Amino acid sequence: MAKSKSATKEKKKKKLNVDWKEVAHLFLTSRAMDEKEESELVPQKKVLYQFSARGHELGQILLGKLLTNKHDAASAYYRSRPLLLSLGLSEEDAMAGPMAKSGGYSNGRDIGVVCNKPDKDGPKVLPMAGDVGSQYTPAIGWAQGIEYRRKELNEREYEGAISVILGGDGSVATNGFWSALTIATTQNLPVLFYIEDNGYGISVTSDFQTPGGVITNNLQSFKNLKLYDGDGTVPEESAELLEEAVSYVRDRKGPAMIRLTVPRLNGHSYQDNQAYKDDDLIEKEEKKDPLNKLKEYMVPEHVTERTWKNWQKKAKENIEEVAQAALNRPEPDTSETEKYVFAEDKVQTVGGLVVEDHSFPESSETPESEKQRINIVEAIRRTLKHELETNPKLMVFGEDVGQKGGVHAATMDLQSQFGKQRVFDTSLSEEGIIGRSVGLAYAGLMPVAEIQFRKYADPATEQLNNCGTIRWRTANRFAAPIVVRMPGGFAKCGDPWHSMSNEVFFTHAIGWQVAMPSNAQDAVGLLRSAMRSNNPTIFFEHRNLLDAKYARKPYPGDKFVVPFGKAKKLSEGEDITIITWGAMCERCEAAVEAQDIKADILDLRTLMPWDKEAVLKSVKKTNRCLVVHEDNKTAGFGAEIVSEIMKEAFMYLDAPVERLTMPDIPVPYNVGLMNSVLPTTEKIAKQVDKLLKF
Ligand SMILES: Cc1ncc(C[n+]2csc(CCOP(=O)(O)OP(=O)(O)O)c2C)c(N)n1
């Protein structure tokens, strides 16, 4: 049973292992930074976004000093700069970030307090994000990664490592918080939730975020969670509670949560004037300033008043110099702004297999065909199996993926062959599945996640979007190459839930590769490429193709890969170019066969990147083009293709480039309704005919 505990109630004082002088130095440094920004740099518009840490510093600094294992990681948020300083972030980087100067943790790409620390040989700070609550689930992935490397890969250096998540009292109302809490407590992961309760979100009080306003009270009955509660402004109390909480998690007693109350001495951000707080409250908060409490604790028992004043003066002088050095840094190079959306020449510091110098078995673009044809489900299963066999860092998971083998049977028997650490069920939280994948990838593993149906990736949208931008946001310091398998599209019938494709969403999201195989051979090659890639990939499994005769092909061998961005010609001809992918390939082929014409049918196979070169080459030859897709029309991926053709091949066209797609509605359930709106063979043939006669 979880138990809450306050250090003030402890009778016996523990001997603390704290270097208070260092804590004071870091505290004064952080405070001087905030003050410099608030009094000068923001008013002068040299810093455009400022989120003050004033009031929150003490606990963060103490926590940072407790993160001593090389494989510890913290997932923090915009008010966490004191933690980063405590973990050794350079003072100049800490000030240059908010100034959007070059270098540092994002090279001017991200708001300064949304930072990261990719220390190869020490504790890391995982890339922060602006979305409140999104910091939780990646940290869970890191924790699971620690345990996987420790237990499954027998890497002793992961012994005792922990994952820490920092969040405010507002963040406990988010999906990410609950998803992470569920995974941590059901899987008994080494995670410490560190809640900085300043009583407010922006202007909304804690009792709107959790009934009664105190999250640790409400979690008393949460199984497998140790709770600590205290005043984050009192030096000894904070230090003692934090030491206990960190040790509890390090000793593998289970996950824990510590809630420390702190005053928020500024508005939420610089722009927030706190008009929603009355003067009394503001005064009360000022009185709770942890800097005064630290001073009271240290002067005169540990140092003299004079020494303290001297430290304070020195910290201010130092920050003047640091700020000037940061201001002197050059502006970021505009010619590099588009770099690092995807992996480039320079390898990231943290995340993915490439960082681990992982070497894969040989690969080949030439299929070694067996005689027997297999369906896509079997193709996926065999490819997953082979990669699981040859890559101990690869794991496969999702809802019902374990014993059941997935609701589409693509992971059937994999758990019994590879064990529950490598092939496992997850809780019903897509945000949890994707966020956890991101953390696992940071930990140097290759997560292959299944989302049961495309539409059910919706709750994971925040994590998916953030995953795609990690490399760019951190200027190539971090990356999270993961594979997300997701079945979708129509099948025996349609419906708005299981049958959506909406692949265009992922092509528009930044940093994702998108694969949409139309047959078993390509499924093998693309999935293998994805699992060996240094970029995240959405791997779309079309439901109507999973067991379709059209999609059955011989297994192309364990080495077979299909590179991304290479279209496949399904038929050759001069009359017209038809561009398509997924389940529409079969229909386009049938439409052409039914007529006495010769067409280039291009199966794009991947939409990001897409084979523009092959498309333009073909259109320049045939002078006519039809794009066919199942996704709805407006701003569908066809619009992108057509726009490129118009720009690059306009002078070659003998007819307007047409699109045949679903109208802008969800896929209907009734088969008659569904067929009335899907591009069918007949509709494709008719459209081709129209273009040929133009
Ligand atoms: C998903 C999301 N919704 C809304 C916001 C806007 N927002 C930024 S901070 C904040 C309040 C966060 O409060 P809390 O978690 O208590 O942290 P604190 O700022 O008090 O330290 C809100 C609503 C956001 N950044 N992300």
Q: Domain of 592? A: 568-692
CATH number at residue 308: 3.40.50.970
Other beta carbons within 10 Å of 422: 18
pLDDT at 1: 38
Which tokens sit at 570?
Answer: 């399904």
Confirm whether pTM is higher than 0.85: yes
Alpha-carbon distances of 622 from 309, 338, 598, 618, 691, rounded to whole Å? 81, 34, 10, 6, 11
For residues 182 and 432, is the Cβ–Cβ distance under 8 A?
A: yes
For residue 484, report the phi and psi dihedrals to the nearest 5 degrees.
-120, 110
The reply to whether 386 and 408 lie within a common domain is yes
Residue 458, in any domain of the structure: yes
Strand partners, 194: 166, 258
pLDDT at 269: 84
Which tokens sit at 280?
Answer: 């009394």
Residue 334, in any domain of the structure: no
pLDDT in tens, 534-568: 999 999 999 999 999 999 999 999 999 999 999 99
Tell me the C-alpha distance between 499 and 516, whole Å: 15
pLDDT in tens, 612-635: 999 999 999 999 999 999 999 999
The reply to whether 501 and 584 lie within a common domain is no
Q: Whose CA is nearest to atom 26 of ligand 1?
A: 131
Q: Are strands 423-425 and 256-261 parallel, antiparallel or unpaired?
A: unpaired
The reply to whether 375 and 285 lie within a common domain is no
pLDDT at 15: 84
Q: CA end-to-end span of the chain, whole Å?
A: 76
Other beta carbons within 10 Å of 203: 12
Residue 634, in any domain of the structure: yes
CA 286 – ligand 1 centroid, Å: 22
For residues 374 and 382, is the Cβ–Cβ distance under 8 A?
A: yes
Name, in order, each residue with C-beta under 8 angstroms of 529's C-beta and a sequence gap of 6 or more.
Answer: 515, 561, 562, 563, 564
The reply to whether 166 and 209 lie within a common domain is yes
pLDDT at 13: 66
Tell me the C-alpha distance between 85 and 674, whole Å: 58
Burial of 122 (0-12, 13-18, 19+ CB in 10 A): middle
CA 312 – ligand 1 centroid, Å: 31
In this prediction, residue 517 has a pLDDT band, given cuts at 50, 70 and 90, of very high
Pick from 138-152, 259-273, 637-651: least confident: 259-273
CATH number at residue 609: 3.40.50.920
Classify residue 471 as left (phi > 0), alpha (psi -120 to 50) or beta: alpha
Give the residue, 197 or 274, on which the prediction is more confident.
197
Nearest to 87 by CA among 74, 98, 105, 97: 74
CA 208 – ligand 1 centroid, Å: 13
In this prediction, residue 14 has a pLDDT band, given cuts at 50, 70 and 90, of confident
Other beta carbons within 10 Å of 521: 25
Q: Where are the alpha helices (DSSP H) in 509-583?
A: 520-531
Q: Whose CA is nearest to atom 20 of ligand 1?
A: 201
CB of 132 sitting under 6 A from ligand 1 = yes
Of 497, 524, 554, which residue is a domain's last? 554
Residue 340, in any domain of the structure: no
Strand order in the sheet with 256-261: 124-126, 73-75, 163-168, 191-197, 256-261, 226-231
CB of 171 sitting under 6 A from ligand 1 = yes
Rounded to an integer, the average pLDDT of 311-328 is 98
Which tokens sit at 72?
Answer: 């510890």
Tell me the C-alpha distance between 26 and 33, whole Å: 11
Nearest to 120 by CA among 477, 437, 629: 477
The reply to whether 298 and 440 lie within a common domain is no
Specify the DSSP element, H or E, that contains 660: strand 658-662
Q: What percent of the chain has pLDDT over 90?
A: 93
Rounded to an integer, the average pLDDT of 463-474 is 98
CA dihedral 218, 220, 226, 231 (to 10 degrees): 60
Tell me the C-alpha distance between 89 and 81, whole Å: 9
In this prediction, residue 98 has a pLDDT band, given cuts at 50, 70 and 90, of very high
The reply to whether 68 and 184 lie within a common domain is yes
For residues 60 and 74, is the Cβ–Cβ distance under 8 A?
A: no
Mutate to test the pocket of ligand 1, among 114, 202, 271, 272 (most ligand atoms within 8 A of CB): 202
pLDDT in tens, 350-406: 999 999 889 999 999 999 977 899 999 999 999 999 999 999 999 999 999 999 999
Q: Which residues of 580-607 are buried (b: 16+ CB within 10 A; e: fewer)?
A: bbbbbbbbbbebbeeeebebbbbbbbbb
For residues 693 and 661, is the Cβ–Cβ distance under 8 A?
A: no
CB of 202 sitting under 6 A from ligand 1 = yes
Burial of 13 (0-12, 13-18, 19+ CB in 10 A): exposed
In this prediction, residue 12 has a pLDDT band, given cuts at 50, 70 and 90, of low
CA 632 – ligand 1 centroid, Å: 34
Helices and strands, number each (H, E), in the chain: 22, 20
- Residues tagged active-site: 498
Residue 11 clears pLDDT 80, i.e. is over it: no
DSSP state of 13: P
Which tokens sit at 81?
Answer: 């700069």
Classify residue 2 as left (phi > 0), alpha (psi -120 to 50) or beta: beta
The reply to whether 321 and 359 lie within a common domain is no
The reply to whether 541 and 583 lie within a common domain is no
CA–CA–CA angle 610, 475, 34 (5° rounding): 140
Burial of 269 (0-12, 13-18, 19+ CB in 10 A): middle
The reply to whether 151 and 60 lie within a common domain is yes
Name, in order, each residue with C-beta under 8 angstroms of 666's C-beta and a sequence gap of 6 or more.
Answer: 495, 496, 499, 500
Q: What percent of the chain has pLDDT over 70?
A: 98
Extract the runs of DSSP E, i.e. beta strands, from 267-401: 373-374, 394-398
pLDDT at 2: 41
Across the chain, mean pLDDT equals 96
SS3 per-residue string spanning 347-369: CCCECCCHHHCCCCCCCECCCCC
CB of 54 sitting under 6 A from ligand 1 = no
Residue 560, in any domain of the structure: no
Q: Number of structural domains, the chain?
A: 3
In this prediction, residue 190 has a pLDDT band, given cuts at 50, 70 and 90, of very high
The reply to whether 544 and 576 lie within a common domain is no
Tell me the C-alpha distance between 516 and 503, whole Å: 9
Alpha-carbon distances of 434 from 188, 250, 547, 559, rounded to whole Å? 19, 25, 27, 28
Q: Are strands 513-515 and 537-542 parallel, antiparallel or unpaired?
A: parallel
Residue 9 clears pLDDT 70, i.e. is over it: no
The reply to whether 26 and 147 lie within a common domain is yes
SS3 per-residue string spanning 473-503: HCCCCECCCCEEEEEECCCCCCCCCCCCCCC
Of 502, 532, 554, which residue is a domain's last? 554
Residue 224 clears pLDDT 50, i.e. is over it: yes
The amino acid occupying position 554 is P
pLDDT at 7: 47
CB of 201 sitting under 6 A from ligand 1 = yes
Of 523, 554, 585, which residue is a domain's last? 554
Q: Of ligand 1's atoms, which has the minimum distance to the CA of residue 198?
A: 20
Residue 344, in any domain of the structure: no
Which tokens sit at 283?
Answer: 């005064």
Residue 549, in any domain of the structure: yes
Mutate to test the pocket of ligand 1, among 131, 132, 207, 277 (most ligand atoms within 8 A of CB): 132
CB of 200 sitting under 6 A from ligand 1 = yes
The reply to whether 498 and 609 lie within a common domain is no
Residue 30, in any domain of the structure: yes
Rounded to an integer, the average pLDDT of 325-334 is 97
